[in-house]
Amino acid sequence: MFKDQRKEKCKAAFGLPFVFSGFDLQLYSCGGGGDIVKEYLLNRRGKAMATQFERKASVEAIKSHFENDVERFSNLETGQKSIIDSPLAMDLVARSASGSTANIRRVLDIGCGAGNYTLKLLHYVASFHCDLLDLSRPMLEKAHERISAVNTGSVRLFQGDFRLIELEEAGYDVILAAAVLHHLRDDDDWAAAFRKIFRLTAPGGSVWISDLVSHETGPVQNLMEERYGVYLSTVGGEEYRARVFEDIDREDSPRPVPYQLDLLRKVGFDHVELLHKNSCFAVFGAIKIDYNK
Ligand SMILES: C[S@@+](CC[C@H](N)C(=O)[O-])C[C@H]1O[C@@H](n2cnc3c(N)ncnc32)[C@H](O)[C@@H]1O
């Protein structure tokens, strides 16, 4: 059923106003034969990470947030403390990338921040040419300083929105995207970004994603958010917990793991791998076979 027809049906069933959030749309997009009433009830329960794209932070606002936050992303030992299992995520990505793709010569780090994921990959691969891409100049400068201190390959910087920057097709053996794709908004945005990642991946190459994720159903979403809340309170107390949830509500529109794995296959990747999931965080990847070998 088309979105508008379903919207009308919802209006009739529940009366006005019915506000469609990103989370609703997400269920819509995978809806098919799903029952509209059940969907509505599920959606009502998944609150804190529910998204209304129109009220989410702009790219400019996201950029200025991160420009003032470089130090928080510059510790390789701890990773980001707001992310559950952050050091484990970095290690799993680095080891899976180095194990899955032979002869890594060119790496793209999308939303590189201060360069943690590329630095971790350099623990397992002696050196490579890397392109670091981020909205924020201070992040790029920090990443450049840290990576060029240990990497003998070239380090090029690209400042801007990943969706708009032109990069070499099939130009990368490994693509890293950590804590960045949750800024994508509607289905078209996600599909276009994943198609671009596929085009940029060289045959035999792989992409590795570590990110905040949502869930397909309200009760599970609430359970995972609750667990994340407990984690945040333990790490930084109640105020910290509230601040992180406010940031998520303002800036992020995460998608469930199955949605992203399906999309990776749909855009053309041959294999997908789920490396780790804990509460609202997941680590996964996809591999593009080199059919000439
Ligand atoms: C949460 S930080 C993660 C940094 C790093 N990947 C890490 O895991 O340590 C997200 C980074 O993505 C960047 N970013 C957000 N949206 C972006 C976009 N559309 N294009 C490029 N960079 C983006 C931000 O500027 C920020 O530095």
pLDDT at 75: 87
Q: Which fold has domain 59-216+249-287?
A: Rossmann fold (3.40.50)
Q: Does the structure show a pLDDT above 50 at 30? A: no
- Is residue 135 predicted with pLDDT exceeding 80? yes
The torsion angles phi and psi of 145, rounded to 5 degrees, stand at -60, -45
pLDDT at 14: 37
| Residue 273 vs residue 40, higher pLDDT | 273
Average confidence score pLDDT of the chain = 86
Beta-carbon contacts of residue 101 (< 8 Å; ≥ 6 apart): 173, 174, 204, 205, 206, 287
Give the lowest-confidence range in 15-24, 137-146, 205-214, 277-286: 15-24
Question: What would the two tokens of residue 84 be?
Answer: 């559950």
DSSP secondary structure string for all residues of 112-156: -TTSHHHHHHTTTSS--EEEEEES-HHHHHHHHHHHHTT--S-EE
Question: 226 C-alpha vs ligand 1 centroid, how far in Å?
Answer: 25
Determine if ligand 1 sits within 6 Å of the CB of residue 190.
no
Rounded to the nearest whole angstrom, what is the distance from the C-alpha of residue 34 to the centroid of ligand 1?
Answer: 34
Please report the pLDDT score of residue 266 as a whole number: 98
Q: Is the CB of 93 under 6 A from ligand 1?
A: no
| 74 within ligand 1 shell (Cβ under 6 A) | no
Q: Which atom of ligand 1 is nearest to the CA of 184?
A: 19
111 lines ligand 1 (CB under 6 A): yes
Protein residue with its CA nearest to atom 8 in ligand 1: 178
Best mutation site among 91, 135, 212 for ligand 1 pocket (most ligand atoms within 8 Å of CB) = 135
- Whole-number pLDDT of residue 51: 53
What pLDDT was estimated at residue 38? 43
Question: Mean pLDDT, to the nearest integer, of 109-134?
Answer: 97
Given a cut of 50, is residue 131 above it in pLDDT?
Answer: yes
More confident residue, 66 or 143: 143
pLDDT recorded at residue 163 = 97
Nearest CA residue ID for atom 1, ligand 1: 179
> Which band of pLDDT confidence, cut at 50, 70 and 90, is reported for residue 35?
very low
Ligand 1 atom closest to residue 177's alpha carbon, by position in its atom list: 6
Q: What angle do CA 25, 192, 8 make, to 5 degrees?
A: 20
- Check pocket membership of 253 for ligand 1, CB cut-off 6 A: no
53 pLDDT higher than 70: yes
Asked whether 43 lines ligand 1 (CB < 6 A), one says no
Residue 167 or 45, more confident:
167
Say if CB 165 and CB 133 are below 8 A apart. yes
Residue scoring higher pLDDT (251 or 29) = 251
Judged against a pLDDT cut of 80, whether residue 7 lies above it is answered with no
Residue 152's identity, in one-letter code, is: T
> How much is the average pLDDT of 85-95?
98
pLDDT digits 0-9 by tens, 238-279: 999 999 999 999 999 999 999 999 999 999 999 999 999 999
Question: pLDDT, tens digit, for every residue of 152-200?
Answer: 999 999 999 999 999 999 999 999 999 999 999 999 999 999 999 999 9
Arithmetic mean of pLDDT, 91-111: 97
| C-beta 90 within 6 A of ligand 1 | no
How remote is the CA of residue 109 from the centroid of ligand 1, in Å? 9
Residue 49 CA to residue 213 CA, distance in Å, equals 9
Which ligand 1 atom sits closest to the C-alpha of 63?
25
Q: What was the pLDDT predicted at 261?
A: 98
CA of 274 from ligand 1 middle (Å) equals: 21
| Residue extents of the structural domains in the chain | 3-45, 59-216+249-287
Would you say residue 72 has pLDDT above 90?
A: no
Instruction: Assess whether the C-beta atom of 143 lies below 6 angstroms from ligand 1.
Output: no
Residue 116 has pLDDT above 50, yes or no: yes
**What is the distance between the alpha carbons of residues 21 and 264, in angstroms, rounded to a whole number?**
24
Among 50-59, 108-117, 253-262, 275-284, name the one with the lowest average pLDDT: 50-59
From residue 255, give the alpha-carbon distance in Å to each of 51, 181, 221, 234, 260: 10, 9, 11, 25, 7
Cross-strand bridge partners of residue 276: 283
